Amino acid sequence: MNRQQTEQLWREEKYRVMFHSQKHYNQLRQAMRDLLPHEQIEQLIEEALQQTPTNGSMRNACQHMWGYFRKVATIEEKQQYEQLLITGKITALLYFLQQLAIQYNITYLRESTILNITFL
């Protein structure tokens, strides 16, 4: 695998890793900086995805994704986001973020696996 494929994999999995574990996310960021081989990056991602997400890790990942919409979202969208975040309806929040990514054509998020997983 070449470096471009490794970077593509990380772009796609970044928020899903963050959703599962901030610790693993930080390890993977460092691994990418250290230019670890593709196979090691894949292994670290798999380890991260084995972690049970915490309420904090799920909220953190959603807040990071919301950052793409903070300046463009309508007042109603901001209120809906805040309501979903407060109530902890994570599946609904991910679906809402997915819809915003499509509506505002945020390719980076549209290609992210966290917004394309089967329970959405």
Whole-model pTM: value is 0.92
Q: How far is CA 86 from CA 55, 59, 72, 90, in A?
A: 11, 10, 21, 10
C-alpha angle 79/100/69, rounded to 5°?
65
Task: Tell me the two tokens of residue 104.
Answer: 């505002």
Rg over CA atoms, the chain: 15
Query: Which pLDDT score, from 0 to 100, does residue 1 have?
Result: 77
Q: Average pLDDT across each block of 10 residues of the chain; the chain has 120 residues. List them in order.
A: 93 97 97 96 97 96 97 97 95 96 96 78
Instruction: Report the alpha-carbon distance of residue 47 to residue 54 in Å, rounded.
Output: 15
